[in-house]
A and B are shown apart, each in its own frame.
Chain A
Amino acid sequence: MNKLQHRFIVFTSIIILVSLAVGYVVSNLLYFVFVKDQVDQRHLRVVEQFAGHIEDNELSVEKAAQFLQSMSAMDYQIAFVHEDGTLFDFGLPFNDDTLTPDMRLLFDDATIYHGMTHLQSPFSVIEHFSNKLENTVGLRIEVEGEKWALFLRSTNESMFSEIHLAFFGFIAAVVVISMIGILFFSRKLIHSLTELTSATREIARNNFDYPLTIVGKDEIGQLADSFRMMQKKLANTDETRRKFINNVSHDFQSPLLNILGYTELLDSEISSTEGKQYNHIIQTEAKRLSNLTKQLLVLTSLDQGTYPLQKQPIRLDEQLRSVVRSMMWRIQEKELEIFMNLQPVEIAGDKSLLLNAWENLLSNAVKYNKKYGLIEITCTQYAHAAKVIIRDTGIGMNEEQRKLAFDRFYRADHARKRDGMGLGLSIVREVLAYHEATITVESDLGAGTTFTVVFPKE
């Protein structure tokens, strides 16, 4: 038996014991308040009838004894006591037939003795069944001109009627069946828990396929459902992580191999034009690597959710302006015109993360633009939102490219291989998701791309 089951049994037993104790007290109280007097009255009536019969017919002691003897057959215990202590008992004999001083009062001035209402405490219902002479109803009676007393109680057998036995059976059955039920139920519960425990262990071992057999609409069933959902999500994450590592290692490998290859070429006999050309390729590849690591750093910290999000008030217009300034040489190299319509807009956000997002969006707008092209940057404050629009007159994307633009490692122009790694926009999306902002993209192939970012205002 394992611990949880053990506990269930202990708790159930405790509950049964406590309910029995409480039931005992309650029934005592009921007896003390209602039943006791009724029983007393019932016995008093019987004893009065017997006494009446003896006195009215002026029966002799011998006859009275005969009469009482026959009456005792009706499940009564009867004591017939003379003033001098002589005692005849009829029916089942008493365990204890001592006369208390109270009973002796019947030979003085008292006419009735209420032994059954003498019970001292409300918690002593059991005394009701004590087979003592004391526990009777008594009456003074005159036989042959002498003082006698008649005491009477019903036998315990008559009180324990069949219905009482049935009740005892009922209680016993409840106890036994609840014990069995608890055993069965706890075994089932424990089985579910054991299964969940093994499933959890499997997850710790990176196995997300452990089959859970638990079904049901109760809490355990719900837990199992959530668990299955978690398994699926983890399996998904694991899959994306694998793909991601695959992609990353590939994207690290190819520029490294290029660099290696071309540095070897530089070792051989080559013309200076060739040398410059090779050198240029090496530079480009090194730049790719540098960009890749920079982006990965941001992305992984975002992924792990360990990035300490430091929300503080940010002026979007100022931030956009400063990003534009930091890109000035690239803008100037392409001789672009920038149009800035920047209203003062303040939101709560993480400065460095958002800066990274704008850098990615704007460097794309510059990188994919034509010479003498245009970039339009607007940021506007609305009642319930702040909007940033970045529009360029660059090469644009087709519908398929546009849909995949935010996917990790998706690159619209594999052949042209600019220094993009396909990570920039996916970083942008995650950063914006961090800020509960949405980003949408519209694009015309050859005409340009527009990114619209909307920050909801809390």
Chain B
Amino acid sequence: MHILIVDDDEVILQLVSIQLTQAGYSVTQASNAEAALALLQKQTAHLAVVDVMMPGIDGYQLAHILTANYDIPVILLTAKGQLQDKEKGFQQGIDDYIVKPFEAKELLFRVQAILRRHQKSTQTQLKLGNVQIDTMNWEIAIDQQQYIWPMRELEILAFLMQRAGHNVNRWKLIEDIWGESLDQPEYTLNTHINRIRERLKRTKATIEIVTIRGVGYRLEVLK
């Protein structure tokens, strides 16, 4: 995954680069919009982190160029924390914004979220029984009521929902959700499944996760 960072503040540019590099992304730095556009000729990017206040072409204009011409998702860095900035940004087609000062964790969470969203862009709305999942916003609607679930649980349910009525192998599920670096994979999955079941029951969902011995799980509509 390659990320382009554009900011005229050297300190922030450095900080964001280090944070993203440590998280395992490769990074290109640019100190202004012109340099960023020049760099894009040599190497494309999966995501751009752009500061609003820049001399020359400002962050809004750059975000507009990146989303419209290059189809690169943009996270806008705004210093003022002002609502007008955010709204103006969304009008330019940005995917997300972060108000400075921000924590590394917050930036990483948003970067991950946007990359994930762009990778799995095939289906963002899933529906089964009285349950509807919006993977774009991590929202789930059950019986007309809206909830936000912990991401892993929602991803598990979405994965099962895409394969509703079919048996899903537990190892395939673990690999898709956590990758391979998990200490106690089966225990962790069990806890998550139990919590999902508890949530579905409490919120009167008309779907249930059925355990298939020796294989994994299957999502069914209650009769």
Residues of A that sit less than 8 Å from B by CB = 287, 290, 294, 324-325, 328-333, 335-342, 351-352, 355, 372
Contacts and interface: CB of A to CB of B under 8 A. Distances in A.
The size bracket of the interface on B is 20 to 34
A328 B150 contact: no
Interface in B115-148: 137-138, 145-148
A340 B148 contact: yes
A342 B153 CA distance: 23
Interface of B: 81-83, 101, 103, 105-106, 109-110, 113, 137-138, 145-153, 195, 199
B149 A337 contact: yes
A330 B150 CA distance: 11
A234 B113 CA distance: 52
B147 A340 contact: yes
B83 A342 contact: no
Contacts of B106: 329-330
B81 A294 contact: yes
19 contacts: A290-B101, A294-B81, A324-B148, A329-B106, A329-B110, A330-B106, A332-B138, A333-B105, A335-B152, A336-B148, A336-B150, A337-B147, A337-B148, A338-B147, A338-B148, A339-B145, A339-B147, A340-B147, A341-B145
Contacts of B146: 339-342
Nearest to B150: A335
Nearest to A332: B151
Given A332-B109, A351-B83, A352-B82, A325 B147 contact: no
A339 B144 CA distance: 11
Contacts of B145: 339-341
Contacts of B147: 337-340
A421 to B, nearest CB: 15
A355 B84 CA distance: 12
Contact of B105 (A329, A335, A340, A341): A329
B117 to A, nearest CB: 12
Contacts of B109: 328-329, 332
A325 B137 contact: yes
Contacts of A338: 147-148
A330 B108 CA distance: 12
B94 to A, nearest CB: 14
A337 B145 CA distance: 13
A294 B100 CA distance: 11
A162 to B, nearest CB: 90
Contacts of B151: 332
A332 B137 contact: no
Nearest to B108: A329
Contacts, number: 48
A287 B148 CA distance: 27
A330 B153 CA distance: 16
Nearest to A335: B150
A340 B147 CA distance: 6
Nearest to B149: A337
A283 to B, nearest CB: 9
Given A352-B83, A355-B83, A372-B195, A332 B101 contact: no
Contacts of B101: 290
Contacts of B149: 337
A331 B81 contact: no
A332 B137 CA distance: 12
Contacts of A330: 106
B199 A337 contact: yes
Nearest to A350: B83
B137 to A, nearest CB: 6
Contacts of A325: 137
A293 to B, nearest CB: 10
Nearest to B203: A339
Contacts of B138: 328, 332
Given A287-B103, A332-B151, A342-B146, 13 more contacts: A294-B81, A328-B113, A328-B138, A329-B105, A329-B109, A330-B106, A333-B105, A335-B150, A337-B147, A338-B148, A340-B148, A355-B83, A372-B195
Nearest to B146: A340
Contacts of A336: 148, 150
A298 B82 CA distance: 12
B150 A332 contact: yes
Contacts of B153: 335
Nearest to B80: A352
A98 B4 CA distance: 125
Nearest to B90: A322
B58 to A, nearest CB: 21
A330 B102 CA distance: 12
Contacts of B150: 332, 335-337, 372
A331 B148 contact: yes
A351 B84 CA distance: 10
Contacts of A339: 145-147
A334 to B, nearest CB: 9
Contacts of A324: 148
A303 to B, nearest CB: 19
B130 to A, nearest CB: 15
A287 B105 CA distance: 13
A355 B113 CA distance: 23
Nearest to A341: B145
A341 B147 CA distance: 8
Contacts of A332: 109, 138, 150-151
Contacts of A341: 145-146
* Most chain A C-beta atoms within 10 Å of own C-beta, residue among B138, B145, B150: B150
